[in-house]
């Protein structure tokens, strides 16, 4: 059974009369996970160590008067260990 290893958080705030939601989603690979000093590089199946995908979502809600359209923006960053065999 696959397991999602990660983090999710949502914060709401108001700026200049507009309501915003900020969502942070972090998904970490369950296949080659571990601490940095114990897991490095790439394994024989092609999975890099400490692979993480982070998505940041900003959502502007409609105003109560209906004069502002809802807008959404998303940014995705993928990072992981250098794909190199360590011995």
pLDDT in tens, 15-44: 888 889 999 999 988 777 666 667 778 888
Q: Is the pTM of this model over 0.75?
A: no
Per-residue model confidence (pLDDT) at position 41: 83
Q: What is the pLDDT of residues 42-66, one digit of tens each?
A: 888 888 888 889 999 999 987 666 6
pLDDT attached to residue 65? 65
- Domain membership of residue 42 (yes or no) is yes
In a domain, 84, yes or no: no
The answer to whether residue 85 is domain-embedded is no
User: For the chain, how many structural domains are there in total?
Assistant: 1
pLDDT at 74: 95
Element (H, E) at 3: none
Residue 47 belongs to domain spanning = 5-78
């108001």: which residue's tokens?
A: 14
Contact 79, 55 (CB under 8 A): no
């Amino acid at each position: 059974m696959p397991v999602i290893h990660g983090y999710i958080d949502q914060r709401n705030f108001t700026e200049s009369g507009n309501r915003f939601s900020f969502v942070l989603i972090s998904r970490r690979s369950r296949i080659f996970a571990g601490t940095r000093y114990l897991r490095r590089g790439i394994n024989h199946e092609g999975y890099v160590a400490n692979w993480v995908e982070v998505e940041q979502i900003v959502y502007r809600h409609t105003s109560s008067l209906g004069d502002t359209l809802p807008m959404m923006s998303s940014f995705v960053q993928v990072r992981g260990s250098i794909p190199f065999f360590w011995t």
